[in-house]
Amino acid sequence: MAAAVASLYRRVLPSPPAVDFASPEGKRLFAEALAAGTMEGFFPLVSCFQTQSEPAFCGLASLAVVLNALSIDPGRRWKGPWRWFDESMLDCCEPLDKVKAEGITFGKVACLARCSGANVQSFRANRATIDDLRRHLVRCVSSQDCHLIASYHRQAFKQTGTGHFSPIGGYHAGQDMALILDVARFKYPPHWVPLQLLWEAMNMTDDSTGLLRGFMLISRKTAAPSSLYTVSCRDENWKSMAKYCAEDLPNLLKGENLDNVQTLLSRLIESLPAEAEALIKWVVEVRRKEEGGPSLSKEEKERLFLKENVLQQVRDTRLFAIVHDQQNANNPCCNCSSLSEEDSLTRIAAAVCCQGAAMLSGNLVSRHGFCCKETCLNCIQANGDGLKTVISASVVSEGNEQGVDMLLPMSSPSASSCNSNLKNNVIKYPSSADVLTVLLLALHPSTWLGIKDEKLKAELQTLVSTDNLPDDLKREILHLRRQLYYLKACKEKEEFEDDDLPSPK
């Protein structure tokens, strides 16, 4: 007969050194810090606060609280129609089963925050000082647009357990104390601790990585850095692509009988994982269809102009011409239009409009439940800025129909309105050749060092060099390169530092 497992209802908070938030002393510290202006971050955090749902989910719960406190839209549903960050959605950098069994490391929490759309600055204890911690903490708790998550060892506070994550909700300058909003609410209540002790708790080693703990600052992105292309790690395919970029591609480049660019690209295309294009997605402009007819705002026109420039700059590169020709050689298609667009715009229009409907509904995980009932091409005279393209569609999902407008860059004024044969119109949209070209440009320059043929290596390095790219495209490529590095680092090693990231050059 199995012995009964003892149960626990909370722990007694060791005090000192901690001060219970709800005690008279804790209330006094709160009131004084509130009056001093160093409790501003507390209110959005407590409005979204939650208890970790698993004993090892402290990192996930801390991040979910902070992301919701920053009002970052996850872009996908949690339950029902609601878009909301939950621990169960934070699975792109580490499988949830593994986190449940082993917990999560400092680097993976930072990776998850970036993948979820936040800005992240991470500081390990050996790369910062207590004065740095105090300065950053004061900045975060004095505003509502930045929050600090601490990674620390409970031993410093005489608490049971080992490594832990929690957001910091406030700071009392007079007594130099920080308010830990412990996400293990079943164990300990929120509590004030001396900042010196918190710093010492961060200076303890995580046995799973051999690295010190630390703290990270999480904030909203002020603007989307991508104009046309971005990296997506919400789909499972990013893991196979990260492996491909980190392991498979370097091994392929070391192969024999690679003596020209065409042969190399042919092998590269043949070895790409299925649905590799989904890793780099083009940033679409989507809106609900307007009853009064299509019209473009000044902001929409400016974004489309920039997208068109970037798209044209990609296609002006010599690399695109080679990739395009090689891709068609590898996959000849009798349905290609006279414009050599390898993708049927009719198919693209339907898929993109379903993507738009999914975006508007908040269901970005899958658009398979959407059916495009009708597509229609409109060309709009944009107040002297030339013609712009709008693909309008009626999309049906679960019996509900909605009108969607997708705005595209366009290269010709000859397109007619509501033409059912869309592929006969001269439309510019990101195709698979564009995506593959920007992927090759965005790979880190060290990727190509394994090529044995020195002449081929030099030729390819010239093709993928960002030195002579136009400024708009260069910014796009360098941003993609940084995003790809995060994915590669998450796949390749357990932990990495912000300082390890490639410089934007």
Locate all alpha helices (DSSP H) within 255-406, ordered by sequence: 261-271, 298-315, 318-330, 345-361
160 compared with 411, residue with greater pLDDT: 160
Distances (CA, A) of 60 to 105, 163, 181: 10, 14, 14
Q: Which residues contact 221 (CB under 8 A, 6 or more apart)?
A: 117, 118, 119
Q: For residue 79, what pLDDT is reported?
A: 87
Query: Among 13-22, 207-216, 278-287, where is mean pLDDT lowest?
Result: 278-287
| Residue 414: pLDDT over 50 | no
- Are the beta carbons of 232 and 282 closer than 8 angstroms? no
Helix (H) or strand (E) segment spanning residue 192? strand 191-194
Q: Looking at 58, 111, 354, 379, which residue is catalytic?
A: 58
> What letter would DSSP give residue 410?
B
- Are the beta carbons of 496 and 127 closer than 8 angstroms? no
| Residue 281: pLDDT over 50 | yes
Q: For residue 428, what pLDDT is reported?
A: 59
Predicted confidence band at 109 (pLDDT cuts at 50, 70, 90)?
very high
Q: How far apart are CA 440 and CA 378, in angstroms?
A: 33
Q: Looking at 92, 172, 182, 324, which residue is catalytic?
A: 182
Listing DSSP states for 415-480 in one string gives: PPTT-S-GGGS-B----HHHHHHHHHHHS-GGGGGG-S-HHHHHHHHHHH--TTS-HHHHHHHHHH
Residue 108 corresponds to which tokens in the numbers above? Answer: 């993976």
Query: How many residues are present in the chain?
Result: 505
Residue 182 annotated as catalytic: yes
| Residue 195: pLDDT over 70 | yes
Residue 435 corresponds to which tokens in the numbers above? Answer: 């995506």
Q: For residue 297, what pLDDT is reported?
A: 73
Predicted confidence band at 334 (pLDDT cuts at 50, 70, 90)?
very low
Q: Looking at 164, 172, 191, 324, which residue is catalytic?
A: 164
Paired with 180 in beta bridges are 168, 191
Q: For residue 412, what pLDDT is reported?
A: 45
pLDDT digits over 352-401, tens only?
666 666 655 555 444 445 565 565 666 655 555 555 666 666 666 656 66
pLDDT digits over 426-455, tens only?
455 677 888 889 989 998 888 888 888 888
pLDDT digits over 90-106, tens only?
987 778 999 999 999 99
Q: How far apart are CA 290 and CA 288, in angstroms?
A: 6
Whether omega for the bond prior to residue 445 falls within 30 degrees of 0, making it cis, is no
137 compared with 480, residue with greater pLDDT: 137
Side chain identity at residue 191, one-letter code: H
- Are the beta carbons of 448 and 457 closer than 8 angstroms? yes
Q: How far apart are CA 297 and CA 278, in angstroms?
A: 29
Q: For residue 430, what pLDDT is reported?
A: 76
Predicted confidence band at 172 (pLDDT cuts at 50, 70, 90)?
very high
Residue 233 corresponds to which tokens in the numbers above? Answer: 């790690």
Predicted confidence band at 307 (pLDDT cuts at 50, 70, 90)?
confident
| Residue 205: pLDDT over 50 | yes
Residue 164 annotated as catalytic: yes
Identify which of 22-26, 260-264, 283-287 has the greatest average pLDDT.
22-26
Q: For residue 146, what pLDDT is reported?
A: 95
Paired with 218 in beta bridges are 120, 147
| Residue 415: pLDDT over 50 | no
User: Burial of 177 by CB count in 10 Å (0-12 exposed, 13-18 middle, 19+ buried)?
Assistant: buried
Query: Among 34-38, 103-107, 219-223, 288-292, where is mean pLDDT lowest?
Result: 288-292
CA within 13 Å, CB half, 224:
12
Which residue in the block uniquely carries the two structure tokens 């690679």? 258
Q: For residue 160, what pLDDT is reported?
A: 95
pLDDT digits over 474-496, tens only?
988 988 888 777 766 665 555 55
* Mean pLDDT for all residues in the chain: 80
**What pTM, to 2 d.p., does this model score?**
0.71
Q: For residue 419, what pLDDT is reported?
A: 42
Residue 437 corresponds to which tokens in the numbers above? Answer: 């070209």
Predicted confidence band at 504 (pLDDT cuts at 50, 70, 90)?
very low
Q: For residue 10, what pLDDT is reported?
A: 92
* Start-to-end CA span in the chain (Å): 66
